[in-house]
Amino acid sequence: MRGSLLLHSLVAVLLAACSSSPEGQLETGLRSSPEPTSTFSIVALDPESGDLGVAVQSKFFGVGAVVPWVEAGTGAIATQSYANTSFGPRGLELLREGRSPEEVARKLLEADPEKQFRQLGIVDGKGRSHSFTGDRCVEWAGARAGENFTAQGNLLVSRATVEAMARTFDESKGELAVRLLAALEAGQQAGGDARGRQSAALSVARKNGGYGGYNDRYVDLRVDDHPNPIAELRRLFDLNSGKDAVSQARRLVHQGHVERAAQRLRVAIARDPDRDSVHFELARVLLAAGKDEEGRAELSAAVARSPGYDHYHYRAAQILAESGSAAACLQEVEKTLAINSEYAEVFRREIESPVSAFRPLREKIESLLRS
C-alpha cells in the first residue's frame, strides 16, 4: 500500500513537470516562467538621428524590465521567449567590441542549454540587424528583418503581426520613437498575441537626449499591467512628448538653434494639438527670435483656446514681458486682473524679484494694481 502511494506521488510529479513545459515534455532544469508568454517586438535604428530603440508588447507582467536593452551609439536588443536577461548587457558589451549582430547572437546562444526556447532581435549602431527564433518557441513564432530593423514575435495569432510591424516601420515617417510605436500598434491590429495583452514598453536611446542632456534615455516608457497596454503606452508617449518638446526646445535655444527649436515644437503640436504648454513655448521662441508677427499670432491662438482662463493671460503677459513688448504685456496684465483679482498678489511678488521679466514694468504694473 505504502509503495503504491509512493509510486502514485512520483507519477503525479512527473506529469506535472511534463504539462508545465511548452512542448508537454519533461525538461532538465527549471524555468522561472512555466507558462509560455506571448511577446512581439521591434528593434531599430534611425540612421539620420542615430536613435536606437525597442518597442514591445507581451502577455506578461512588466515586459519593459525584461525585453528591451538599448545603448546610444552601440545597439539595441530584444531578448524574449523565456527571456535570458543576461543577453541584454552581454550583447551590448559584444556590440561595443565591434562584433556584428549575427556574431553577437551566436556568442550568446552557444553556451545556453535552452537556446531553442529563446528569441532574439539585435540591431547595431550601423543598422545591421539579426534575429533568432529557437525551434522550441511556441507557434506562431518568427521574425521579419529589414534595413535598420528586425521585428519578431512568439505565440502570435499569425505571421501577419511581424509583417505588419515591418511594413508600418518601413512606410512611416518621423522620429524613431514615433515609428516604433506605430509599428507596435500595427502588430496588435494584425492579430498580436494569441494569449492576449498585459504590458508594453518603448525605449529609445539618443546621445545626450535624456532630461537636461545628462544621459541618453531619450524615451523610457513602461506599462506594466493594463487591459490595453499599447493604447496606454500611446497615451503616456503623447503626454511625455509635450513636456519633452518644451525642454528640448529650451536647450536648443540656449545653444543658438532657434529654428530647430521652433520646428521641434511644431512637430509636437502636430502630434498633440491640445498640449497648451507647447503652443505657449512656440510663441516664446518666435518672439525671442524677433519674429514678432508670427510670435504674436501664435500667442493669441494659444490664449484663444480658453480666453476666460486667468492663467493663460498671465502666461501671455510673462512671454510678452520677456520679449520687451511692454504695451501688449500690460494689456494681458489687465485682462488677468479683470478675470481674477487675486493675481494682484502674484504680480506684486513678481515686480519685487530682480530676475523677473516684469521688473522693468514695475511702476506701470503698480499703477494697474492700484486702479
Query: What is the per-residue pLDDT for 22?
Result: 35
- Distance, in Å, from the CA atom of 236 to the CA atom of 239, rounded to the nearest integer, reads 5
Query: What is the per-residue pLDDT for 241?
Result: 62
Count of Cβ atoms closer than 10 Å to residue 112 Cβ: 14
Strand 199-205 to 217-223 pairing? antiparallel
Q: Please report the domains of the chain, with CATH numbers, ordered by start residue.
A: 39-227 (3.60.20.10), 248-370 (1.25.40.10)
Q: Which amino acid is at 76?
A: A
Half-sphere exposure of 218 (CA within 13 A, CB side): 22
Q: Closest Cα to residue 36, out of 130, 211, 156?
A: 156
Tell me, letter by letter, the H, E, C secondary structure of 177-234: HHHHHHHHHHHHHCCCECCCCCEEEEEEECCCCCHHHCCCEEEEEEECCCCCHHHHHH
Q: Give burial (CB, 10 Å; 0-12/13-18/19+) of 348.
A: middle
Buried b (16+ CB within 10 A) or exposed e, 72-100: bebbbbbbbbbbbeebbebbbebbeeebb
Q: Give me the helix-helix angle, 310-322 and 292-304, nearest 10°.
A: 170
- Distance, in Å, from the CA atom of 133 to the CA atom of 218, rounded to the nearest integer, reads 29
Query: What is the per-residue pLDDT for 191?
Result: 86
Q: Closest Cα to residue 37, out of 59, 55, 61, 17?
A: 59
- Distance, in Å, from the CA atom of 195 to the CA atom of 12, rounded to the nearest integer, reads 27
Query: What is the per-residue pLDDT for 27?
Result: 37
pTM of the predicted structure, to 2 decimals: 0.64
| pLDDT digit string (tens) for the chain, length 371 residues | 444 444 444 434 343 444 333 333 333 333 444 455 679 999 999 998 899 999 999 989 999 999 999 999 999 999 999 999 999 999 999 999 999 999 999 999 998 999 999 999 999 999 999 999 999 998 899 999 998 999 999 998 899 999 999 999 999 888 899 899 999 999 998 887 778 889 999 999 998 888 767 789 989 999 999 989 998 998 888 776 656 677 778 878 878 888 888 888 888 888 778 778 889 999 999 998 889 999 999 999 899 988 889 899 999 999 999 999 999 999 999 999 999 999 999 999 889 888 889 999 999 999 999 87
Query: What is the per-residue pLDDT for 35?
Result: 58
Map residue 151 onto helix, strand or coil: strand
Query: What is the per-residue pLDDT for 51?
Result: 95
For the CA atoms of 163, 168, 170, 176, what is the dihedral angle to 10 degrees? -120
- Distance, in Å, from the CA atom of 159 to the CA atom of 317, rounded to the nearest integer, reads 56
Half-sphere exposure of 224 (CA within 13 A, CB side): 3
Half-sphere exposure of 209 (CA within 13 A, CB side): 23
Dig out the grid coordinates for 144 from the structure. 521579419
Query: What is the per-residue pLDDT for 9?
Result: 43
Query: DSSP secondary structure string, 49-77?
Result: T--EEEEEEESSTTGGGTSEEEETTTEEE
- Distance, in Å, from the CA atom of 366 to the CA atom of 371, rounded to the nearest integer, reads 9
Report the number of secondary-structure helices (H) and strands (E) in the chain: 13, 10
Q: Which residues neighbour 41 within 8 Å (Cβ) at sequence distance 6 or greater?
A: 54, 55, 56, 57, 67, 68, 78, 80, 121, 151, 152, 153
